[in-house]
Amino acid sequence: MQFRTHDPLRVEFGEEDKISIDLGAEQLVGAEKAEQKIAVEIKSFLSDSAIFDFHLALGQFLNYRLVLEDTEPERLLYLAVPLQAYESFFNRDLPKASIKKYQVKLIIYDSMNEVIVKWIN
């Protein structure tokens, strides 16, 4: 799988608002050989409160998606979360309901080995 990246991806919305999404990439999808543009907001979930980190991440994700829908509608936004946070927090009722309700696309990454474990559409 090949990636062409923009690190970070900078996007303007209106005259006053500018955002920087952690990573913008064009992903070459193996099976169809079709190019897919993505943006990835990477979160670490390192504070003492996973729920606080989740509120911040979800709010940021939803605002970034709104901007991308207007400025780059062909680009899909993913929220990247560490495997440990995914296994310990994202199986709880509130995160599961929010992910489903707001159709959050996830990338689960192993921060120790620096690899992507899972893509969830």
The per-residue pLDDT for range 70-121, each reduced to its tens digit, is 988 988 899 999 999 999 999 999 999 999 999 999 999 998 888 889 999 8
- CATH (domain of 60): 3.40.1350.10
- The pLDDT score that the predictor gives to residue 6 is 56
Q: Which domain holds residue 54?
A: 3-120
pLDDT for the residue 89: 95
Identify the helix (H) or strand (E) that includes residue 5. Answer: strand 3-6
Q: Are 98 and 58 in contact (CB under 8 A)?
A: yes
User: Using omega within 30 degrees of 0 as the cis cutoff, is the peptide bond preceding 8 cis?
Assistant: yes
pLDDT digits (tens, 9 = 90+) for 29-42: 433 345 788 888 88
Task: Output the pLDDT for position 23.
Answer: 60
Contact between residue 45 and residue 85 where contact means Cβ atoms under 8 Å apart: yes
Q: In Å, how far are 16, 22, 57, 63, 72 from 60, measured between CA atoms? A: 17, 11, 5, 5, 17
Phi and psi at residue 45, to the nearest 5°: 55, 55
pLDDT of amino acid 2: 45
Q: Note the pTM of the prediction, 2 decimals.
A: 0.79
Instruction: Give the number of domains in the chain.
Output: 1
Tokens of 12: 């303007």
